[in-house]
Amino acid sequence: MHIVINTPNGNIGRSLALRLLEAGESLTVISRSEEKVAELVARGAKVVVGSTDDAAVLDRAFSGAKAVFWLTPPPARPDFIEWSEGLARLAARKAKEHGVARVVVLSSIGAQSGRGTGPVGALLAVEEAFKAAVPDVTILRPGYFMENLLREVPALASAGAIYLPIPADRKLPFVATADIARKAEEVLRDGAWKGHRYLGIHGPQSLAYVEVEKILSEVLGRPVRYVQVSLADARKGMQGAGVPGFVVELLSEMYQAVLDGRMDPEEPRSGETTTPTTLAQWAKEVLGPAVGKARVSAA
């Protein structure tokens, strides 16, 4: 089966691409830079160089494809919501024109709420675009990426703290991106499913930040505090860190949606949605070394 990945350079897309190549699948990746995907090409992937919002690029990539993994890129422009929705409609139309039989869409918890949920606000329209064009679509709705905690490395290194505008007792399904890639591979290579379906990816357990601070304290070998800040203070912190204004607005909107309950998972936890990597394991392998490096650099 020939598979296309539109985002092979991020944590999920790169991990998924490597897994598919190791499994012997035929793979095309879309990348603005051939250099960035040289490792994948060396392992047998075909690359179509260009932007995913270029119809001609999609024509070349989707020609002969049986399946597509579609991931909406992170916010990189002020019109992110409108751009993402339009991009998905273009890609869905091209998938239909080229007879793509199935699509796996990476979405998110909270996508069911539509606009008004920050970066997640584009994903309901993305889901609907592919459902309208392709007969077999699985929509993956993962929880909160453990990798998002890497944004807190400077504060963890300097103050041993995490500052976020989320209640300390609000439980969230934390999931490692490696497990998302593993689930995507499983779905792409499973020829049995048909129609349109939603699948949550929820990590091994939902955790509140009061639990997160205990886990990280043990793994990092030093006390970690979780401090709930106001949304206004969170905005000031992002602005002070040089985060672009449109990203500050999107993230602020997402945090408000969490507070309002609009980012809660719609899909119930089950054996199928539960993935293995624990926060402690991930923190030992990924977060701990990043914090240690930051502390050495600051010394």
Q: Which domains can be identified in the chain, with CATH numbers?
A: 2-144+174-201 (3.40.50.720)
Q: Which pLDDT value is given to residue 295?
A: 87
Q: Which pLDDT value is given to residue 298?
A: 75
Regions of the chain short of the pLDDT cut 50: none
Q: Between the CA of residue 98 and those of 27, 58, 134, 196, what are the distances in Å?
A: 16, 10, 11, 19
Q: Which pLDDT value is given to residue 1?
A: 83
Q: Which pLDDT value is given to residue 218?
A: 97
CB 117 within 8 A of CB 84: no
Backbone angles phi, psi at 78, to 5 degrees: -60, -30
- 82 contacts: CB under 8 Å, gap ≥ 6: none
Q: Which pLDDT value is given to residue 296?
A: 84
- 39 contacts: CB under 8 Å, gap ≥ 6: none
Q: Which pLDDT value is given to residue 299?
A: 65
**Tell me: the pLDDT tens digits for 20-61?**
999 999 999 999 999 999 999 999 999 999 999 999 999 999
Residues 91 and 283: their CA atoms lie apart, in Å, by 36
Backbone angles phi, psi at 234, to 5 degrees: -65, -40
Residue 253: what residue type? E
**Which own/partner contact pairs does 78-83 have at CB distance under 8 Å and 24+ positions apart?**
78/246, 80/119, 80/122, 80/246, 80/250, 81/115, 81/121, 81/122, 83/53
Query: What's the DSSP call for residue 268?
Result: P
Query: What's the DSSP call for residue 117?
Result: S
| Nearest residue to 174 (alpha-carbon basis) of 33, 93, 277 | 277
pTM for the model: 0.96
